[in-house]
Amino acid sequence: MGKTFSSKAFQFFAVVIIGGLCLILDHLTQIRFNKLSLPKTSPQYNAIDLSANVYAKNGVLKYKVSGDEAWEFANEDKVYIKKIVLIKYNESTNMIQYQVTSDDAWIDRKSKDGFLGKNVVAKMFESNPEQNIVLTGDDFYLNFKNNTIETSQDAHAIQGQNQVYTRGFNYDIKNKYLQLLSNVRVIYATQK
């Protein structure tokens, strides 16, 4: 009878000890992500050689975005992109409507604002190639809610042989209204 009792006691204590070890190991190996926070100076994620397509509800390609690198910091709504290329397509013709490149950019996902930094080149394509516009400059601020672009820096626009130089502009994309701010110089080529 003593052996049976000691065998059952041993099994009982073995189960209690193993169960206790399992609970302790489970507790020690849990990662509590809600308490893990990254330094504000380190990116939350980083993507190299990115490329993304955005489609309309009917499956037609609307945008292509690419860049050498993109990153987002913890507790920020801005996505930073190095060497961005943005191509917007006309949804009815599938032709390129405009193409924008810049050395650096950011897009705020929450406010729907954006910024194109150095060496901005924006090409706007029309059905008549002579009406295509190439706009260059630095520090373009974009408001996607209001469809506006603005800068206080020097900008240069070319359409065919016509050119405009300005120090700052505001452009309403929807209404195609351009306001030139200062130091405006126009070179207008007459037709022969």
Write the DSSP assignment of the chain as a string of letters.
Answer: -HHHHHHHHHHHHHHHHHHHHHHHHHHHH---GGG----TTSEEEEEEEEEEEEE-TTS-EEEEEEEEEEEEETT--EEEEEEEEEEEE-TTT--EEEEEEEEEEEEETTTTEEEE-SSEEEEE--SSGGG-EEEEES-EEEETTTTEEEEEEEEEEEETTEEEEEEEEEEETTTTEEEEEEEEEEE-PPP-
pLDDT at residue number 29: 61
pLDDT in tens, 116-152: 999 999 988 888 888 888 999 999 998 888 888 899 9
pLDDT at residue number 56: 86
pLDDT at residue number 119: 96
Judge contact between 167 and 180, C-beta under 8 A: no
CA distance 150 to 178: 10
Superfamily of domain 38-187 in the CATH hierarchy: Lipopolysaccharide (LPS) transport protein A like domain (2.60.450.10)
CA distance 1 to 11: 15
Low-confidence ranges of the chain (pLDDT < 50): 1, 35
Supply angle C-alpha 103, 65, 90, rounded to 5: 120
Sorted by where each begins, the domain ranges of the chain are 2-30, 38-187
